[in-house]
Amino acid sequence: MIREPLIFEISAKGKQAFRLPKLDVPAKAGLLEGLPVRDGIPGFPQVSEVETVRHFTRLSQQNYCVDLGFYPLGSCTMKYNPKINERVAALPGFVESHPLAPAELVQGNLEVLKLVEDALCEIAGMDAFTVQPSAGAQGELTGMMLIHACHEAAGRPRKIVLIPDSAHGTNPSSAHLCGYSVQEIKSNENGTIDLEDLARRMTEDVAALMVTNPNTLGVFEYDICKIAEIVHAKGGFLYMDGANMNALTGVCRPGDMGVDVIHINLHKTFSTPHGGGGPGSGPVGVRKIFEPFLPVPRVERKGGAFVLRFDRPQSIGRVRSFYGNFLVIIKALAYILSLGPEGLRELAETAVLNANYIRKSLDKDYHLKYATPTLHECVFSDKYQKENGVSNLDIAKRLIDLGVHPPTMSFPLIVHGALMIEPTETESRRDLDMFIEAMKQIAREAKDNPEVLKSAPHDSYVRRLDETAAARNPIVKWEKGK
Amino acid sequence: MSYIALSDQDKKEMLARIGVSSVDELFGCLPDEIKLKRKLNLREALTEPELLRRFEELSAKNSYVDHLSFLGAGIYRHFIPTVVDSLSSRGEFLTPYTPYQPEISQGTLQVIFEYQTLICQLTGMDVSNASLYDGAMAAAEAVLMANRLNGRPKVLVARSLHPQYRETIRTYVKNLGVRIEEIAFGDCGGIQTEDLLKHLDKNTSAVLVQSPNFFGAVEELKKFCDLAHQHQALFIVAVAEAASLGVLEAPGQIGADIVCGEAQSFGLAPSFGGPHLGFMACKKEHLRQLPGRIGGQTKDVDGRRGFVLTLSTREQHIRREKATSNICTNQAWCALRATMFLETLGQDGLREWAVQNIQKADYALGRLTAVTGIKARFTGPVFNEFVLEFSRDVQAVEAGLRAKGIVGGLGLKGFYPELAPCALFCVTEVHTKAEIDRLAVALEEVLR
């Protein structure tokens, strides 16, 4: 196997992979003398085109990806990313248009934004959506800011946000970034919110409860309407983290459960590719009372045309430049239009079917901390395997040998040694069965040959990496001679 | 079109194994009263050819792309070498998740490491993160980082910083007790030293200056950096046109503490504003306060070099509300494209590219200010943008150009009421001499 060096290590003076046309305006001598100019960039690469192409092609081959196989990362919703969506998002009218172009020259783009907002309103049962937030975490922050602005406008700013102990780490972090202090709500024996604990903590100092539904165990908060009542009775708002909307599309709508503000991850539920860590998109939906506070600008229909409105005095402002990750938004719209109303319901149904199939197929081999029924994902633990000294990490690394991507590990925090599995709706029976068989083999190996797990992976490009050393003595860039 | 991969027989057998008779039963854990008893009110599903036609129609409604345009203002049109599109569209780069399993993610991780190295080389800083959402959010994160580092309550932000960056900063700090004060610009187009001195004091956490600034003018970074440091304030440089880093002095060279900005120019098309690429780099002593993902080098159990995501104890999934930022999904694929773009241009190509931007903008500035009724608003040196002041109403000028198939500069009245008679023009290497001349002739006709 070729071990691909860093580009800097194959660089050689004078090589170039790209050339610009000759300058076609008269070059003004001495122009640079009026500017603070640098003398070259030490170490900056110089390579030929073929070397560049092989460099990245070889690197690409060291990546696992959805196009290659099953990717059951819980709460990440790694579904198939349709190729046609890439094609439509690459149309020149979208790619080449400038965000500050006059509105009348980018009517197609504004229509796209409006179409997406309207579709998301219908899917989530909300009154208005903004697609400005760049990813889920920015959606959460935007949602928190909307709640903050709404309380403040009513003359009663609040200090606390309640978050269940099963929540993703971005929830408390986003609430904190909006200036709130965070209080944790305990999960009960079913893995859902403890209503008594909630009622006790839900005071008039509490701005909102942030809830993920279905939660990170894949369990639907059966008492969601009661939860909304408890929160609303004290003048608080119910924020829903819509990371797990994949379980619900066409089946039920957050707006019908008393949710006031929600964010949805287009790179999860609506199939836009994850790109090795983004770009994503985290639109935020709200009930009507929050509409005046939404980020500017807003797209509106005026006569037969679309306009951008900036004159919104109560708006929280912008959370980024322009209108969001526009090309990502296009891909999500393409998914929604491809599926239609029946397809969106079939999406949730199949995601839930696949997850329950895996759960049932493995519940003798792996420990399930919560017996509660689950929807689109299930969370096992390594409790049985721990008896032989095998951890969830060993299980994950052995899956790599067997050709599948490991599940999400060590999360949610309320399950020790967690293995969180989300198959999504796009997997074939064959891929599901391959995964199930691999997990069963690992369960057998944990008893018969635990060593093979502890030393896994065996055949990958690199084997287990020393992450402790990486953090203790950080090397975060290449330096000549080092 | 459906992307379901199960046959009816599969479904039947799977339900049987689960021990239920229908999928509806699996939703028995939902209270009945919230279940949707109707179909979603959306248009019926489209097949692939119908979908393509639908989006071709939408795309065709963007007549902007049929115009000759001189818009910049934070989003720049540059040539993108074919290899960038070709390589970045590989499924292996487009369809993996964040590299949580390094053994099968070395492609993404090595690219992150190369990207961080390139950003450090370009900015002259010690360390870089793996990306942020965009330039505006990166500027806001830089302000928050400075506040974490020294705890001071006030940040001075140049009024010549991109207006949307300033808006975003204000949104981010609104509930956090950080105060923003703006530093005025002078006739050179850069910020005024006297105004900076008036605002600088022991409560100043940081001074944030963009260079080249929103008006295209190159700021006197060294002077402002020294002044900030004299007051023990941090100096933050924002770069909205990353192409400038190919030839202008690296902000790290003049002593900047944090460098942030937008790297859209590195291989990302205008795309109606996103997805693009926020970047951030800093001095190594501040590494643990840097927000976002960071890739690092290490060894595997066999002693081979490998790469991982590192220093995750700064991050939300470990530290929760005490994290340096809430960011999780970032702009990894955009950073990949930037890496491909920069490595394709290479050392010499990058400089030539940046110099062509300066030369063409200078040619355009000379050509346009020779037109009666137009003068340069500012006197300072520029990179690839400049502000023109018109003797006639800017909107009328814009309309006149539009009628000739040209989108001129960006009228500044909305962002800067004090610059109502002005517009910001951008000229990059993609504009030919003939196109610049066409603009000049059109303006002569419009202003006649």
- For every residue of B308-351, DSSP letters joined together read EE--GGGSHHHHGGGSS----S--HHHHHHHHHHHHHHHHHHHH
Q: Note the pLDDT tens digit of each residue in A261-276.
A: 999 999 999 999 999 9
Using the beta-carbon criterion (under 8 Å), do A465 and B299 form an inter-chain contact?
A: yes
Candidate from A54-58, B317-321, B421-425 with smallest mean pLDDT:
B317-321
**pLDDT reported for residue A2:** 78
SS3 B38: coil
For position A302, which CATH number holds? 3.40.640.10
Task: Give the residue-averaged pLDDT of B259-275.
Answer: 98
In terms of domains, do A384 and A311 share one?
A: no
Q: Which of B171, B253, B340 sits opposite A56 (nearest CB)?
A: B340
Answer whether residue A150 is part of any domain: yes
- Would you say residue A1 has pLDDT above 80? no
Answer whether residue A68 is part of any domain: no
Query: How far, in whole angstroms, is CA B90 from its chain's centroid?
Result: 23
Using the beta-carbon criterion (under 8 Å), do A108 and B322 form an inter-chain contact?
A: no
Distance from CA of B376 to the nearest CA of A (A): 17
In terms of domains, do A194 and A106 share one?
A: yes
Q: What top-level class would CATH report for the domain B82-341?
A: alpha beta
Task: Give the residue-averaged pLDDT of B383-389.
Answer: 98
Percent of chain B topping pLDDT 90? 96
A1 — contact with chain B (CB < 8 Å)?
no
Answer whether residue A476 is part of any domain: no
Give the ipTM of the model, two decimals please. 0.98
List the 392-411 stretch of A: residues with Cβ below 8 A of B.
396-397, 400, 405-406, 408-409, 411
For position A419, which CATH number holds? 3.90.1150.10
Please, where are the H alpha helices in A98-240? Answer: 107-124, 136-153, 170-177, 195-201, 224-233
- Same CATH topology for B64-80+345-447 and B82-341: the answer is no
In terms of domains, do A324 and A367 share one?
A: no
Task: Give the residue-averaged pLDDT of B56-69.
Answer: 98
**pLDDT reported for residue A477:** 98
Categorize the per-residue pLDDT at A19 as very low, low, confident or very high, splitting at 50, 70 and 90: very high
A369 — contact with chain B (CB < 8 Å)?
no
A313 — contact with chain B (CB < 8 Å)?
no
Q: In angstroms, what CA-CA distances link A474 with A19, A20, B296?
A: 36, 38, 6
Categorize the per-residue pLDDT at B315 as very low, low, confident or very high, splitting at 50, 70 and 90: confident
- Joined together, the tokens standing for residue A395 give 């299980």
CB within 8 Å of B213: residues ≥ 6 apart: B158, B160, B161, B185, B189, B190, B219
Residue that terminates a domain, selected from A296, A313, A338: A338
The three-point CA angle B23-B28-B34 to 5° equals 110
Answer whether residue A429 is part of any domain: yes
B169 — contact with chain A (CB < 8 Å)?
no
The number of C-beta contacts closer than 8 angstroms across A and B is 675
In terms of domains, do A358 and A219 share one?
A: no
N residues, chain B: 448
List the 346-365 stretch of A: residues with Cβ below 8 A of B.
346-347, 349-350, 352-354, 356-357, 360-361
Percent of chain A topping pLDDT 90? 98
**pLDDT reported for residue B317:** 85
- Would you say residue A259 has pLDDT above 80? yes
B394 — contact with chain A (CB < 8 Å)?
no
Chain B partners within 8 Å of A224 (Cβ): 31, 34
Cis peptide before B49 (omega within 30 of 0): no
Task: Give the residue-averaged pLDDT of B160-169.
Answer: 98
- Joined together, the tokens standing for residue A123 give 């899917």
Task: Give the residue-averaged pLDDT of B211-234.
Answer: 98
- Would you say residue A302 has pLDDT above 90? yes
Residue that terminates a domain, selected from A338, A373, A392: A338
Average pLDDT score, chain A: 97
**pLDDT reported for residue B346:** 97
- Would you say residue A80 has pLDDT above 90? yes
Neighbours of A109 (CB within 10 A): 29
Q: What top-level class would CATH report for the domain B64-80+345-447?
A: alpha beta
**pLDDT reported for residue A411:** 87
Distance CA A409, CA A396 (A): 8
Task: Give the residue-averaged pLDDT of A36-49.
Answer: 95
Categorize the per-residue pLDDT at B408 as very low, low, confident or very high, splitting at 50, 70 and 90: very high
**pLDDT reported for residue A481:** 83
Q: Note the pLDDT tens digit of each residue in B343-375.
A: 999 999 999 999 999 999 999 999 999 999 999
Task: Return the residue matching tokens 């690092």.
Answer: B296
For chain B, the structural domain boundaries read 64-80+345-447, 82-341
Give the residue on A whose Cα is nearest the Cα of B382: A35
**pLDDT reported for residue B316:** 85
**pLDDT reported for residue A139:** 98
Using the beta-carbon criterion (under 8 Å), do A429 and B63 form an inter-chain contact?
A: no
Answer whether residue A16 is part of any domain: no
Distance CA A230, CA A238 (A): 10
Q: Which of B75, B253, B321, B412 to mutate to test the interface with A (most CBs of A within 10 A)?
A: B321
Using the beta-carbon criterion (under 8 Å), do B334 and A470 form an inter-chain contact?
A: no
Sheet holding A284-286, edge to edge: A128-130, A284-286, A261-264, A237-242, A206-212, A160-164, A181-185
Inter-residue contact B101 to A405 (CB < 8 Å): yes
- Would you say residue B414 has pLDDT above 90? yes
In terms of domains, do A288 and A366 share one?
A: no
- Would you say residue B318 has pLDDT above 90? no
Answer whether residue A453 is part of any domain: yes
Give the residue on B whose Cα is nearest the Cα of A114: B58
Give the residue on B whose Cα is nearest the Cα of A295: B171
- Joined together, the tokens standing for residue B391 give 């003797």
Please choose, from the candidates A348, A350, A354, the residue with its C-alpha nearest in 3D space to the C-alpha of residue A123: A348
Chain B partners within 8 Å of A471 (Cβ): 296, 310-313
pTM: 0.98
Residue that terminates a domain, selected from A297, A312, A338: A338
Half-sphere exposure of B38 toward its Cβ, with a 13 Å CA cutoff?
Answer: 7
Answer whether residue A66 is part of any domain: no
Categorize the per-residue pLDDT at B319 as very low, low, confident or very high, splitting at 50, 70 and 90: confident
Task: Give the residue-averaged pLDDT of A237-260.
Answer: 98
Chain B partners within 8 Å of A344 (Cβ): 40, 42
Categorize the per-residue pLDDT at A482 as very low, low, confident or very high, splitting at 50, 70 and 90: confident
B8 — contact with chain A (CB < 8 Å)?
no
**Residue A454 belongs to what domain range?**
348-468
Distance CA A415, CA A398 (A): 21
Inter-residue contact A293 to A153 (CB < 8 Å): yes
Distance CA B139, CA A141 (A): 16
Q: Note the pLDDT tens digit of each residue in A369-412.
A: 999 999 999 999 999 999 999 999 999 999 999 999 999 998 89
Inter-residue contact B378 to B188 (CB < 8 Å): yes
A192 — contact with chain B (CB < 8 Å)?
no
Answer whether residue A438 is part of any domain: yes
In terms of domains, do A440 and A295 share one?
A: no
Give the residue on A whose Cα is nearest the Cα of B325: A173
In terms of domains, do A192 and A125 share one?
A: yes
List the 234-263 stretch of A: residues with Cβ below 8 A of B.
249-253, 256-257
Nearest-10 crossing angle of helices B163-173, B135-150 = 50
Inter-residue contact A138 to A145 (CB < 8 Å): no
Give the residue on B whose Cα is nearest the Cα of A138: B327
Please choose, from the candidates A161, A106, A123, A378, the residue with its C-alpha nearest in 3D space to the C-alpha of residue A253: A123
Backbone angles phi, psi at A404, to 5 degrees: -125, 155
Backbone angles phi, psi at A49, to 5 degrees: -65, -45
